[in-house]
Chains A and B, each alone.
Chain A
Amino acid sequence: QVTLKESGPVLVKPTETLTLTCTVSGFSLSNARMGVSWIRQPPGKALEWLAHIFSNDEKSYSTSLKSRLTISKDTSKSQVVLTLTNMDPVDTATYYCARLRRDGYNLLFDYWGQGTLVTVSS
């Protein structure tokens, strides 16, 4: 059974660094066909892709947030970590992690975590 679970602070202050962890089960982060992506959704708004990482450590970032984002993985712990520096109230959102699975020529975001709401406020 594939599951992903996000964890991290529910409240951060402006200018602080947010660190979120996605703990996965039911698949291995070392599987060549697998990766993990982070997506966020401000309250009442649309989804926004942030970053992804694959088993070979290939990484990509949102163009607008690239200078503030870092994604990494610890395969032994089955965890993917996202950091976002210099938090601002506009970064208030539900943060999701999702599994990326290569299927032939296709790529699927096939399993998602339940999401974690992060509020930025002093």
Chain B
Amino acid sequence: EIVLTQSPDTLSLSPGERATLSCRASQSVSSSYLAWYQQKPGQAPRLLIYGASSRATGIPDRFSGSGSGTDFTLTISRLEPEDFAVYYCQQYGSSLPWTFGQGTKVEIK
């Protein structure tokens, strides 16, 4: 099983600041099958990034994804008030089971 470890667990930032979230895999992950989601309290996850770096439909360009192999990054260039949430990475390549990271909470400082 591929374990995804996200860091940090919590990121305390102010609106307008840049957020950098990390996702590290225990084995190499195909970039085609690495995604990032945003989840707000009481809501379903929302797809932000797929294929490691492609933005999903309707996602603002302040969200960007990068990385390959075992190290992936989600960057939010300038935090808006609505961006404070929990973010999950997910791998869903040829190696089952598909797995999620434990999440990074981005909170208002």
Is the C-beta of B90 less than 8 angstroms from some C-beta in chain A?
yes
A114 pairs with B32, CB closer than 8 A: no
B50 pairs with A106, CB closer than 8 A: yes
In the bound complex, residues from chain B placing their C-beta under 8 Å from that of A114 are: 44
B54 pairs with A46, CB closer than 8 A: no
A83 to chain B minimum Cβ distance, whole angstroms, is 18
Out of B1, B37, B46, which one reaches A63, CB within 8 Å? B1
Contact status of A107 and B33, CB under 8 A, knowing A47-B90, A112-B46: yes
B33 pairs with A49, CB closer than 8 A: no
A112 pairs with B44, CB closer than 8 A: yes
Question: How many residue pairs bridge A and B at CB < 8 Å?
Answer: 64
Give the contacts of B14-49 with A (CB-CB under 8 A).
Answer: 32-33, 35, 37, 44-47
In the bound complex, residues from chain B placing their C-beta under 8 Å from that of A47 are: 37, 45, 88, 90, 100, 103
Q: Across the interface, name the chain A residue whose C-beta is closest to B56.
A: A110
Tell me the complex Cα distance, A107–B96, Å.
Answer: 15
Out of A46, A105, A113, which one reaches B100, CB within 8 Å? A46
Specify which of B45, B54, B98, B103 lies most central, judged by the most chain A CB atoms within 10 Å of its CB. B98
Q: Give the bracket for the number of chain A residues in contact with chain B.
A: 20 to 34
B17 to chain A minimum Cβ distance, whole angstroms, is 25
A37-63 CB mask vs B (1 if < 8 Å, else 0) is 001000000111100100000001111
A118 to chain B minimum Cβ distance, whole angstroms, is 15
Residue contacts A-B, CB under 8 angstroms, 18 given: A47-B37, A47-B103, A49-B92, A49-B99, A52-B98, A60-B96, A61-B96, A61-B97, A63-B1, A63-B97, A96-B45, A105-B32, A106-B51, A106-B54, A108-B35, A108-B47, A112-B44, A115-B44
**Interface contacts beyond A105-B32, A109-B92: sample of 16 additional A-B pairs, CB < 8 Å, sorted by A:** A39-B45, A46-B88, A47-B103, A49-B99, A62-B97, A96-B45, A107-B32, A107-B33, A107-B50, A108-B35, A108-B50, A108-B56, A109-B37, A110-B50, A112-B47, A114-B44
